[in-house]
Structure 1
Amino acid sequence: MGHMLSVMCVCVCCSYEKIQKENCRSYFSALGRADFSVLSHGLDKKTILFNDAKDCLGISGVSLTSYQVEVLGNMACTLNPSYIQNSHPLILEKLKNCGDLSDSQITAVQSLLLSGNTAYGNPSTWNEQTVEQLSILAVYFKSDLCNTLSFNVRRKFFSVLRKQKIPMKKLRTFFTECNSESATVSNITAVTIADASFPFGFNSTQFDLYLDIAVLQNNLAAITEKVVDTSFQTIILNKLNQIYPSGLNDGVLQLLGSTSRVATIDDISKWNITIIDTLSSLMDSNGGLWEPEKSKAVIMRYLSMGNRSLGSAEINAVGSNICTLNISVLENINAESLKEVLFPDLSSCTIEQKSALYITANTSFSNQRSKAYYQIMRPYLGKTIIHIHRNTKHTQV
């Protein structure tokens, strides 16, 4: 990623007008190796780059040759659906490098694959080798495409995607779009859970029926690691609530992973979050984003159980979720705690929240030299302007 970013910086900063025509293809070939996700979401820069590329490569219309696709490289990630659907199928290989695609781009990818006019052939003929070749593109499959695939091929896709360590949201989308019950299902055992494709092939009714409470309790970590569908996760929580009617304990909570995100506020109010390790596990971003109110409920439940305030360990554990807390809670953070928290993620905090934290941070770091002080204080600034005059810091809001 670092190399890709450096290429992007060099190519974007160098004006296309300064490139000699005979060298422009080398210019765009280098640019095509860049990570286009680092560009802003605004279309202007991407449009300008592609217009320059069209001029260089003699592109007219919406059909790109294999050579043009090869030169454009990762710029394919910025193309509108018409180009994706009408260009040489090599474009699919370039789209594998994209951080994400828009809904309209995804529709174009599916249409191209359904046409059968690609190196992968008709989807009805796909096998395990095709699965390995398509790999990450499967995150964009919709039910129309999945319905043309055999059950075993869909299950293999799910296993391959899981190994790719893709974001939970994308894996969940594939499961929702492509899962269907298999011809035979039976009681869920440790052997069933160990299968790489589990719980593919179960619908939510079957999952509820065949998952025994004792099996869940004895295999909780393995189950929560593999289950991504929210309806299945809700079933898991409901069963755990039967086992622990007075509320889930630390040991259980640390194993929930993304399943914790489907808990209700009422569920969270009963959780026994007594140690910092449990709070860290629940706030781990690998489990997905928390809804703000739920995040606040988890943090406040931990604080209330020990009559605690937010110390440095807690601030580090909750990360960006600190921005879900009330200002009154943030105002109780002491200066010593902030000294041990460098560069907190306050990107989603309101100006009022940043202002409350700024007052404490200013006390924590007021003895820093001017340059270091400004760098440390940047996360807290918001619209606050820091004026540094010699060794004296003044603030103006």
Structure 2
Amino acid sequence: MLLYYDYGTVQDCNSYFIFLGGADFSIPSSILKRQHALFNNAQTCLGISGFSLSNSQVGILGNMICTLDSSYIQNSDPLIIEKLKNCGDLTASQVTGIQTLLFSGNTPYGKSSTWNLQTLEQLDPLPLYLNQDFWARFTSTVKKTFLQSFIPALRTKKTPVTKLQNLFTACNSNLRSRRAAGCTTDEITEAIITDPSFPHFYDSTQFDLCLNVTTLTSNLAAITQKVVDLGMERVILNKLNQAYPSGLGDSVLQLLGSTSRVADVSEIYTWNITSIDTLSSLMNPTNGAWTSEQVDAIIMVYLSVAGQTLGSAELNAIGSNICSLSVSVLNNITADNLKNANHVNLLSCSMDQKIVLYNIANISFSDMQINSTEYYMLIAPFLGGAPVADIQELSTQNINMDISTFLSLNSAVVMV
């Protein structure tokens, strides 16, 4: 509530910002530029000038620290590092500021030459974001010990694949590629795979040389759950293509996870996607993003199986990837199937796609038009493709259009 409180009515600004410091600053709409206004008020109230924040100022600002860039972070009291641990995410600028402050040696963590396992444990969760310059300060033994508990904790929190990939790259950046004729690291066995730090400390070349096809196919789920490096994922697909020359089937595809994203379009067309479970698994957004071409290929392969259609279950599986489908494919969606499917964000759809989906949705919810409020709630996600006449009709109803729906409208319609 305090995030949107009328600051002009605040009598004790110091107390206001003390309480505001516990808020979630990811909530304010970027459209309203609320965060900038709040910090401007805080500067005036707390006497903040320049980019240096005192211990007291950092303590009062609390979670508002999560909105500041490196200019403030690297020049402020070291308490700012502790406050940044509470942020839901960190920008590249903020990471630069954190590392600059840490490398200065003027924090409770001391000089980098003294850093050890305890340092990594005390910095949690920040090591997820820090780059290779930070990780280069630790020995392989220290990193491996830390990662054995850190990686499982990150997976439990459902950390996005992209962040895990960045962590892997930062940790492994000092590895020299070993282009030996054979495996010079440990042969990858089931015991190696179960180590929580696996596959850290392998580069993609050694990963390829040390992993045989039999071990891969016998431990596919365990391996793909842990491997996030793009080079290693390419190795996995190459070996699977050797094991299944006629194309990967449902049982294999459902276990690929983020590895599926490195497949090229021609490769996808060799897959055998025959079940909705496989389609749902492949479309799972937690495993990373697909390109439009990849999504189109996956759907085409799925629809090539006799009897497969874009039913409600398929639409739910595809989610926002629906914007990757061609207009001709979208035209095959029936009104009933769209009506019974979950609504998704269509902002990335082209105008032609939005028009097709709106026309289908308008039929889907036509029986709800007698209740303008209920009809609006159902049709709102599709209004980006609505013609002028339909928007004008809605404007005569007792409806309050939210800002995100308004921004999704065709600009030509808005200007009429």
Q: TM-score, normalised by structure 2?
A: 0.87
Give the partner amino acid of 2:127: A
Structure 2 residue runs of 5 or longer lacking an equivalent are: 179-183, 399-409
The match for 1:12 is 3
Going from structure 1 to structure 2, the CA distance change for 1:58 and 1:122 (only over 3 Å counts) comes to: same
Going from structure 1 to structure 2, the CA distance change for 1:156 and 1:346 (only over 3 Å counts) comes to: farther
The match for 1:74 is 63
Residue aligned with 1:86, SS: coil
Bigger CA drift: 101-110 or 261-270? 101-110
Equivalent-residue separation in structure 1 for 2:346 and 2:17 (angstroms):
37
The match for 1:189 is 189
Alpha-carbon deviations, 1:143-189, whole Å to 9, x = none?
11211111123234444144223211111111112215499721000
Equivalent-residue separation in structure 2 for 1:244 and 1:342 (angstroms):
35
- How many residue pairs are counted as aligned between the two chains? 382
Structure 1 residue runs of 5 or longer lacking an equivalent are: 1-9
Give the partner amino acid of 2:5: C
| C-alpha contact 2:358 2:385 (8 A) present in aligned 1 | no
The match for 1:61 is 50
Residue 196 of structure 1: CA displacement? Answer: 0.4
| C-alpha contact 1:140 1:174 (8 A) present in aligned 2 | yes
Residue aligned with 2:74, SS: helix
Asked if 1:171 is matched to 2:164, the reply is yes
The match for 2:383 is 381
The aligned runs of 1:1-397 (5 Å cut-off) are 10-20=1-11, 23-41=12-30, 44-159=33-148, 160-164=150-154, 165-179=158-172, 180-181=174-175, 185-306=185-306, 308-368=308-368, 369-382=371-384, 384=386, 385=391, 387-388=393-394
| Fraction of identical pairs, as percent | 53
| C-alpha contact 1:335 1:360 (8 A) present in aligned 2 | yes
Equivalent-residue separation in structure 1 for 2:175 and 2:76 (angstroms):
36
| C-alpha contact 2:161 2:287 (8 A) present in aligned 1 | yes
| C-alpha contact 1:135 1:161 (8 A) present in aligned 2 | no
**CA root-mean-square deviation:** 2.2
Give the partner amino acid of 2:166: T
Equivalent-residue separation in structure 1 for 2:33 and 2:281 (angstroms):
41
Equivalent-residue separation in structure 1 for 2:24 and 2:349 (angstroms):
28
Going from structure 1 to structure 2, the CA distance change for 1:323 and 1:383 (only over 3 Å counts) comes to: closer
Equivalent-residue separation in structure 2 for 1:247 and 1:35 (angstroms):
47
Going from structure 1 to structure 2, the CA distance change for 1:173 and 1:99 (only over 3 Å counts) comes to: same
Give the partner amino acid of 2:81: L
Residue aligned with 1:193, SS: helix
Give the partner amino acid of 1:238: N
Residue aligned with 2:393, SS: strand
Residue 361 of structure 1: CA displacement? Answer: 1.2
Residue 44 of structure 1: CA displacement? Answer: 4.2
Alpha-carbon deviations, 1:350-379, whole Å to 9, x = none?
222121011111111111122111100011
Residue aligned with 1:36, SS: coil
Going from structure 1 to structure 2, the CA distance change for 1:305 and 1:123 (only over 3 Å counts) comes to: farther
Residue 208 of structure 1: CA displacement? Answer: 0.4
Give the partner amino acid of 1:239: K
| C-alpha contact 2:292 2:324 (8 A) present in aligned 1 | yes
Residue 129 of structure 1: CA displacement? Answer: 2.8
Equivalent-residue separation in structure 2 for 1:274 and 1:363 (angstroms):
30
Residue 14 of structure 1: CA displacement? Answer: 1.6
